[in-house]
Each structure stands twice: as structure tokens, then as C-alpha cells.
Amino acid sequence: MGLIKVQVTLNVYLISLERLVRDTIATLYVRKWRQVEKENVVSIEDSMLPEIIRIQAEGFETKSGNGIRRYSKRMRKIFYVVKSQDRVVGYCIYYIKPDLSLKGFKKKSVIYSISVDKDFRRKGCGERLLKESIKEMRLNEVSSILLYVNTKNLPAIRLYEKMGFRTTEEIKDICGLKETCYEMELRIF
């Protein structure tokens, strides 16, 4: 086995280990998660998965349903679904990211994926998802929320800015191969 192949294999294992540790810590946080009553926004139920995966495929060409399935099991309390007349019209999935600094230990959350059915875009569904989930993040003492958005997705960027998110940096290849994304952050505390 060549040195490059060993290095690639090692990197894959390290990334998998990092995700496992992060998800394990997040699962412990979510066990004690306090929820608030939300307007037309509910936590995921297994019966909603096919519609959520359809909405994801509609909004993201490169995403598979594997992440959604994984987070629907592990992060059920912070996997938000917006409904209109009992129909799933959008979702927002978070994961918790522990942040250790010289100032102490903080909880950050990251939006793994957010999307709204194409027939319900620009009707306030995405804004409602964000408002209701941010309210719950605040209640659970999450210090800030991060997200990554393609620089070409101007409607989403405008929504995030309206909600108070600020661009912190530009990153390549995180939103897709040869794609450029903004990392955006909303500081809560």
C-alpha cells in the first residue's frame, strides 16, 4: 500500500472518529433538551422521512438521504419540520458541536441541512423554521449557530442575513466539489 493511500485511509478514519465523538457528545446534550411550543413546527416522525428526503433531493443535487436518516434517529429533538395543512413542506436539521476555548465550554449548533418544498418557497416557511428553532436553541443555552450556504444561493443568504446571521468566511468544497460557500454565524449569547 502506497504512502498516499495510507494517508487517505487514515484521514477517512479520523473524520469518521471525529463525527462519532461529536455525535456522541451531541446525543448526550439532546437527552436533556428542553422544547418549546412551536407554531406549525414539529419534531420529526418516522412517517415524515420520505417527504423530507424528497424535499432534500429537490433542493440539493449532491445530498443523499443517509445523513437525514442518521440525524432523524440521533438528533430527533433538534430535527424540525414545518407543516402546512398536515403536509410536510420543509425541514431544518441541526447537530450540536461542543466548543472548548480559553473562555470555557460552549455549545454551538450547526445547521446540517435546511430546505423548503419548491411550491412553498418565499412564503415564510424557512423563516418560521429558523425563528422557532432559534428560540429553542436560546432556551437550551446554545451560544451560536453556524451554517454553510452556497455563494450562489442569494435567496437563502438574504433570509439568513434577515435572521441575523453574518458571514464569517468563504470556504471551498464544503457545499459540493468545486463549489464556494459562506460560513455564516448567528451569535445567541
- CATH number, domain at 116? 3.40.630.30
Res. 139: pLDDT tops 90 = yes
User: How many angstroms separate the CA atoms of 41 and 153, rounded?
Assistant: 24
Average pLDDT, the chain: 88
Residue the block writes with cell 470556504: 171
Domain that holds residue 140: 3-187
Instruction: Give the model's pLDDT for residue 62.
Output: 58
Question: What percent of the chain is predicted at pLDDT more than 90?
Answer: 55
Confidence label for 63 from pLDDT (cuts 50, 70 and 90): low
Instruction: Give the model's pLDDT for residue 151.
Output: 96
C-alpha cell at 1: 500500500
The H-or-E segment that residue 95 falls in is strand 87-101
Res. 94: pLDDT tops 90 = yes
The H-or-E segment that residue 133 falls in is helix 125-139
Res. 154: pLDDT tops 70 = yes
Instruction: Give the model's pLDDT for residue 11.
Output: 73
Residue 142: φ, ψ to 5°: -80, 130
Burial of 101 per CB tally in 10 Å (0-12, 13-18, 19+): exposed
Sheet arrangement for strand 79-84: 41-43, 79-84, 87-101, 104-116, 142-150, 180-187, 166-172
C-alpha cell at 136: 429553542
**Which residues are 115's β-sheet partners?**
91
In this prediction the pTM is: 0.83
Per the structure, the count of domains in the chain is 1
